[in-house]
Structure 1
Amino acid sequence: MEEYQDEKKIEIGSESLHYLDTTRKWTMFFAILGFIVIGLMIIGGFAAGALMKSMSGLKDIEGMEGMEAAGAAAGVAQVLLLVIILIFAVIYFFPLFFLFRFSTHTSNAIKTLDRNELGKAFRYMKSYWLYIGVLVIILLAIYLII
């Protein structure tokens, strides 16, 4: 005959709920701020690309005849810059997404006192720190190689 164990429980007091709510507000602030920065990065990348493209038109100005090669290089640099910015935007997006989801699930958990919702929130917080940890390890490895 199988024996069933009661699930272990942790009760969270009002002080801990207050700390969670304060943490939720800050993580939401940083997530939204990060999303704004990602948007500005992408807009800046397109603006820099447009600037490079307009500079390639300098070859038509008198005295700037040697700019044909620079114009072709500017086109390659424009694409390369945009690709690099998009890669960094994707890298930055995921930890911000995890922070945002932690905030929303924590808010729902506090409002409804739902332990499953709080579990989802902590899962996103774990994912955030796992992502940051892997990113730091990769960056340290790159620094050691270079």
Structure 2
Amino acid sequence: MELKSAFDHPGELRVSGQAKRFLSEAAGWARFLSVLGLVLVALQALVVLSALLFGAISGLSMGPFEGTVIMLIYGLLALFYFFPLYYLFLFSGRAKRAIATDDTIALEDCFGYLRSHYRFVGIIIIIMLAVYILAMAAVAVGSFASIF
């Protein structure tokens, strides 16, 4: 009689105890980072709202850059930071649940949220690189134009 291993089924992934420990530790750090980030985003949103309110009440001007425009940019940045942090938070929760209950669907969900987190961060990085390249090109064109 031949003994069959639990890992003999091709196309079926098994998660070892060591992998579960690694995933559990990663989920713990993801939870910490996401909660800390979400708290900081909430503080940033509170600062933006209070600055907009104070600016509207006081009527002070900040020169060429209006304070309202700057605060709206900070508000948009807080909104951009929210989504990857939220996906990271969801990843950590689903990973903990998958490990605790050996739930394959929760494991799939957790990796789906991790994928969404990294996709969002990757797109933001691509956009920022494009902005940096355009800014450097504008500076180079401006420098060459001032020479001639």
TM-score (norm 1): 0.77
Number of aligned pairs?
A: 125
After TM superposition, where is structure 1 displaced by more than 4 Å over at least 4 residues in a row? none
Alignment partner, residue 17 of structure 2: 14
Alignment partner, residue 34 of structure 1: 37
Task: Please provide the CA RMSD for this pair.
Answer: 2.0
Equivalent AA in structure 1 for residue 105 of structure 2 = N
Equivalent AA in structure 2 for residue 44 of structure 1 = V
Unaligned runs of 5+ in 1: 1-5, 57-70
1:109 and 2:98 are equivalent in the alignment: yes
1:32-86 per-position Cα deviation (integer Å, ceiling 9, x unaligned): 0111011110111233334445654xxxxxxxxxxxxxx4x45x93432332122
Structure 2 residue matching 1:11: 3-state secondary structure = coil
Alignment partner, residue 65 of structure 1: none
Alignment partner, residue 3 of structure 1: none
Equivalent AA in structure 1 for residue 31 of structure 2 = M
More helix by share: 1
Alpha-carbon deviation of 1:13?
1.1
- Contact kept? 1:42, 1:89, Cα under 8 Å: yes
Alignment partner, residue 134 of structure 1: 123
- Contact kept? 1:31, 1:100, Cα under 8 Å: yes
Q: How many percent identity over aligned positions?
A: 26
- Contact kept? 1:101, 1:124, Cα under 8 Å: yes
1:124 and 2:113 are equivalent in the alignment: yes
TM-score (norm 2): 0.76
Unaligned runs of 5+ in 2: 1-8, 136-148
1:69-104 per-position Cα deviation (integer Å, ceiling 9, x unaligned): xx4x45x93432332122111100110011011011
